[in-house]
Amino acid sequence: MSDADAKIAGPSRYAEAHRKGYLAGRRGCTGADNPYENDSREARAWVMGLLDGRAKQLTLVRNSF
Protein backbone atom coordinates (compact mmCIF):
# COMPACT_ATOMS: atom_id res chain seq x y z
CA MET A 1 0.00 0.00 0.00
CA SER A 2 1.45 3.35 -1.00
CA ASP A 3 1.26 6.52 1.08
CA ALA A 4 -1.49 7.80 -1.21
CA ASP A 5 -3.54 4.64 -0.54
CA ALA A 6 -3.11 5.09 3.20
CA LYS A 7 -4.44 8.64 3.00
CA ILE A 8 -7.48 7.49 1.02
CA ALA A 9 -8.19 4.71 3.54
CA GLY A 10 -8.52 7.32 6.28
CA PRO A 11 -7.39 7.18 9.89
CA SER A 12 -6.62 3.92 11.63
CA ARG A 13 -9.53 1.87 12.96
CA TYR A 14 -7.94 2.15 16.35
CA ALA A 15 -7.16 5.87 16.31
CA GLU A 16 -10.12 6.67 18.57
CA ALA A 17 -9.01 4.11 21.18
CA HIS A 18 -5.48 5.53 21.04
CA ARG A 19 -6.80 9.07 21.47
CA LYS A 20 -8.87 8.07 24.49
CA GLY A 21 -5.87 6.31 26.01
CA TYR A 22 -3.69 9.34 25.34
CA LEU A 23 -6.12 11.62 27.14
CA ALA A 24 -6.33 9.15 30.03
CA GLY A 25 -2.54 9.13 30.26
CA ARG A 26 -2.46 12.92 30.35
CA ARG A 27 -4.90 12.82 33.27
CA GLY A 28 -2.75 10.28 35.14
CA CYS A 29 -5.04 7.25 34.77
CA THR A 30 -3.71 3.70 35.00
CA GLY A 31 -4.05 0.61 32.84
CA ALA A 32 -6.87 -0.57 35.09
CA ASP A 33 -9.00 2.23 33.62
CA ASN A 34 -8.91 0.67 30.13
CA PRO A 35 -12.55 0.46 28.94
CA TYR A 36 -11.87 -2.12 26.21
CA GLU A 37 -11.98 -5.92 26.36
CA ASN A 38 -8.70 -7.47 27.50
CA ASP A 39 -6.28 -8.40 24.74
CA SER A 40 -8.33 -6.74 21.99
CA ARG A 41 -6.67 -4.51 19.42
CA GLU A 42 -8.61 -1.56 20.80
CA ALA A 43 -7.25 -2.30 24.29
CA ARG A 44 -3.71 -2.41 22.92
CA ALA A 45 -4.21 0.88 21.06
CA TRP A 46 -5.61 2.42 24.27
CA VAL A 47 -2.55 1.28 26.25
CA MET A 48 -0.19 2.68 23.64
CA GLY A 49 -2.07 5.98 23.83
CA LEU A 50 -1.90 5.82 27.62
CA LEU A 51 1.88 5.45 27.49
CA ASP A 52 2.18 8.32 25.00
CA GLY A 53 -0.03 10.48 27.21
CA ARG A 54 1.98 9.69 30.34
CA ALA A 55 5.07 10.98 28.58
CA LYS A 56 3.30 14.36 28.39
CA GLN A 57 1.37 14.24 31.65
CA LEU A 58 -0.31 17.45 32.74
CA THR A 59 1.34 19.36 35.54
CA LEU A 60 -0.12 21.82 38.00
CA VAL A 61 1.13 25.37 37.63
CA ARG A 62 0.79 27.59 40.68
CA ASN A 63 1.03 31.32 40.78
CA SER A 64 3.54 32.67 43.27
CA PHE A 65 1.64 35.82 44.21
Q: State pLDDT tens for residues 28-43.
A: 999 999 999 999 999 9
Q: Is residue 7 one of the residues assigned to a domain?
A: no
Q: Please tell me the total count of domains within the chain.
A: 1
Q: Is residue 5 one of the residues assigned to a domain?
A: no
- Alpha-carbon distance 35 to 37, whole Å? 7
Q: Is residue 3 one of the residues assigned to a domain?
A: no
pTM: predicted TM-score of the whole model, two decimal places: 0.70
Res 10: pLDDT: 52
Q: Is residue 39 one of the residues assigned to a domain?
A: yes
Q: Is residue 2 one of the residues assigned to a domain?
A: no
Q: Is residue 1 one of the residues assigned to a domain?
A: no
Domain range for 48 is 12-65
- In the chain, % helix, strand, coil (3-state, to 5) comes to 60, 0, 40
Res 2: pLDDT: 46
Res 8: pLDDT: 47
For the chain, list residues with pLDDT below 70: 1-11, 57-59, 65
Res 58: pLDDT: 65
